[in-house]
Structure 1
Amino acid sequence: MKKPDVPIFAPGHVPPSETAPTVASGDRGAIRIGIGGWIFPEWRGPFYPPKLVQRRELEYASRVLSTIEINGTYYNTPSPASVEKWHDETPEHFVFAVKGPKTVSEMRTLAYAGAQIERFLSSGITRLGDKLGPINWQFPPWHAFEAQDFGAFLKLLPSSADGLRLRHAVEIRHASFACEAFAELAREHGVAVVLGADSTYPQIHLQTADFMYVRAMGTQIDEPTGYAPDKLDQWAGRIRAWANGTGSDLPLLDGKADGKPRDAFFYVISGAKVRNPLAAQALIERLGGAPRLQETAELF
């Protein structure tokens, strides 16, 4: 793997690391906390050092967060060269979640999506290697649940590609999915159901895979770290409970808790976007990971 140039951190910042700050211990699941994307001009100052060149933003973000969800793959297929660059710029144990393309999730008949799924998986995304995390198939708000067609779609999702194990998650945004039939289909195929938290979308909490996938969308501009301290404590407790298999305070749609530890992928998305990296770092700190970056006033 290509070694990053140093130094990229200002005095007082978290030092460069060749290992992403994953939070895990013992038999519990791994905890990974991050954001959506890494390019956002308003993050310069609150998150990125002001003098950090843009081409090194991923290099920087991946050393203070443990995962990033790539949103661009929802709209366009990246080149193999871009994928390899993302791999090489990030440290060991860092993981990307990847959004599946909307050419799949916006199909009226999902049973016909096989060719598009194969095209996406063979496009070069597997060049992320062991840094390829869950694939999030995000469905539009108009897509209602139809058991036969959705079950056919889940059957099309492969468990591996190019020698890599694949983990799939589905993000649904229509209330008709809040039913036992959907829960059973997801469980049958080992697919996680994305919890679209603190949003106007249906917040369906299920344990249908060996990992949890949360997209928190409720950060607020008047909170320095996006969420109030008690809300951050609450989310940290839930994440810890999923990883330990002890159950959280959120009710399960089908009431089926199996007590198994799960990997937890938690992304701070949308809301007051400028605050999202700070919220992610505050959660990492609460869960025993790397400390947050110091305040903007201490940046060079």
Structure 2
Amino acid sequence: MGRQDDRVHRVAADEGDLRFAPGHDDAEAGPDGDARRPCHRRSARDVRRQHRHGPLLERKELGSSRRRRVRRRFADADHRGRREDHRAERHGDGPSDERERSHPGRQARARDAERDERRLRRERRSRRVDHTRPRDAEALGAEEGGLALTVVRVGTCSWADEALSKHFYPPKLPARERLAWYAEHFDTVEVDSTYYRLPNESMVEGWAERTPPGFTMHVKAFGLMTRHPVKVEVLPEDLRAAMPVDERGRVDRPPRELRAEVFRRFLEALDPLRRAGKLGGILFQLPSYVVFKESSFEYVEWAKEQLGRDEMLVEFRHRSWLDEDNRAETLAFLERIGATYVTVDAPKSESAKNLVPTVPAVTSPTAYVRFHGRNLATWNKRGGSAAERFDYLYSEGELAEWVPTLEELAGRAQQAFALFNNNATAQDPDNPLATISQAATNAFQLRTLLA
């Protein structure tokens, strides 16, 4: 997916035999940060047909009676699934009678009503608190004389990447025992392998069994849930036949009811963590081609509805969400729907659209920060891998600069997390003959600085 290396590495057995590319984090934009666009675009006539008759069936790909039967089987998975991906377009569909649709007065009134509705939605999203100031103290458990102390819990993104497996765990430690050993040193982790393939319940049960009480696992959403390109063969077999596919074998704009079914299966597989009280948030890392616009807001809100009571963590990968003109509306929107904003530390660039500015903020009772490293030279390197993108060892001074900000974020929240996604190896600064895991080393350093 995206710019990832062609070589595919297998996650260690303790992470459930999911497959992911080196670096375990997607790299979906081209070297200049431009977005990839879906291969097929539908005409206005197709959109109208879809609105009247349900999901559009492409004859060349989906015309078989088998595909229609499979689609009908999932059509009732969620009553919200019948809402289309482009709900904003519905307002312009108008009556079915052609003469009424063509009436200029009715067209003008419909356009005015749609414009007014968009304006009201923008106003509702913006009519919120200043996210650069502390949230309501009483709601977040403040004690008399100041906010209650919230400890920043530090961990890594994945416990089974190559750098950790080779340079963090004791030599010859069986793969199945790595998570338990990790949990002796950190009390939180982010599971990123679930982005590449849906988890299964037995695998998740093993995670719950091998971690102690109080341990928190955040889980990255499967790519289809965040509108990333996904190869159809990674889906469960019974879902493949119903999915529209582009010429590269990737799922292409699936109907809403099928996407809802993917959500349902993903969340169902997490039940063991949920029952054990160890499930943290579901990380929605949006691709760089999901930009600040009405349909994007609508999709994020729909996705939040699918999660039910589970926490939604939202990370943006296009700078339009957090530029000076839009950030207040973006943060207010997340607060309104009850989603957690993910603050990121990443390279700084004025030109790359897939690099967002670092905007520390809290939109829910959870403060969440991801450290991606600051390797600007490799972030959009042509032909580079995701592993190269996140190849960066923070200095102790760079981490120390974050301490006041993390403490401030924690002061506004009931819980706070800092996760390291720099996943390569590096030379040990204290021992030139030794090799270390960047993520684990920086996580230990930051935790010491916060103590």
TM-score normalized by the length of structure 2: 0.49
1:238 to 405, 414, 420: 405
> Partner letter of residue 141 of structure 1?
S
> Partner letter of residue 43 of structure 1?
L
Given that 2:190 and 2:220 are in contact with CA atoms closer than 8 Å, whether structure 1 keeps it comes out as yes
2:334 to 182, 186, 189: 186
Q: Which runs of 5+ in 1 are unaligned?
A: 1-24, 245-259, 289-300
1:147 aligned residue: 294
1:120 to 257, 263, 266: 266
Structure with higher helix content: 2
> Secondary structure of the residue that 1:154 maps to in structure 2?
helix
Identity %: 25
1:269 to 421, 427, 432: 421
> Partner letter of residue 282 of structure 1?
Q
Write the deviation string for residues 110-140 of structure 1: whole angstroms up to 9, x where unpaired.
9934343223212x11211211001111111
Structure with greater Cα Rg: 2
Cα distance in 1 between the residues matched to 2:292 and 2:261: 22
Cα distance in 1 between the residues matched to 2:403 and 2:297: 32
What displacement does 1:148 show? 4.2
> Secondary structure of the residue that 2:150 maps to in structure 1?
coil
1:202 aligned residue: 356
Given that 2:163 and 2:423 are in contact with CA atoms closer than 8 Å, whether structure 1 keeps it comes out as no
Cα distance in 1 between the residues matched to 2:296 and 2:167: 45
1:171 aligned residue: 315
Given that 2:225 and 2:263 are in contact with CA atoms closer than 8 Å, whether structure 1 keeps it comes out as yes
Write the deviation string for residues 161-196 of structure 1: whole angstroms up to 9, x where unpaired.
5xxx42111111112212133222111112122122
1:55 aligns with 2:176: yes
Change in Cα spacing, 1:136 to 1:286, as seen in structure 2 (3 Å) is: same
1:100 aligned residue: 221
Given that 1:29 and 1:263 are in contact with CA atoms closer than 8 Å, whether structure 2 keeps it comes out as yes
Cα distance in 2 between the residues matched to 1:47 and 1:152: 39
> Partner letter of residue 144 of structure 1?
V
Cα distance in 1 between the residues matched to 2:421 and 2:218: 13
Q: What CA RMSD, in Å, does the superposition of the two structures yield over aligned residues? A: 2.8
Given that 1:111 and 1:150 are in contact with CA atoms closer than 8 Å, whether structure 2 keeps it comes out as no
Given that 2:367 and 2:413 are in contact with CA atoms closer than 8 Å, whether structure 1 keeps it comes out as no
Change in Cα spacing, 1:28 to 1:151, as seen in structure 2 (3 Å) is: farther
Given that 2:199 and 2:266 are in contact with CA atoms closer than 8 Å, whether structure 1 keeps it comes out as no
What displacement does 1:30 show? 4.0
1:215 aligned residue: 370
Q: Which runs of 5+ in 2 are unaligned?
A: 1-142, 229-251, 349-354, 376-387, 426-436
TM-score normalized by the length of structure 1: 0.72
What displacement does 1:234 show? 1.9
Write the deviation string for residues 130-161 of structure 1: whole angstroms up to 9, x where unpaired.
11001111111122122244234324424975
What displacement does 1:268 show? 0.6
Change in Cα spacing, 1:159 to 1:238, as seen in structure 2 (3 Å) is: farther
Write the deviation string for residues 196-221 of structure 1: whole angstroms up to 9, x where unpaired.
21235203433211112111011789
> Partner letter of residue 265 of structure 1?
F
What displacement does 1:262 show? 4.0
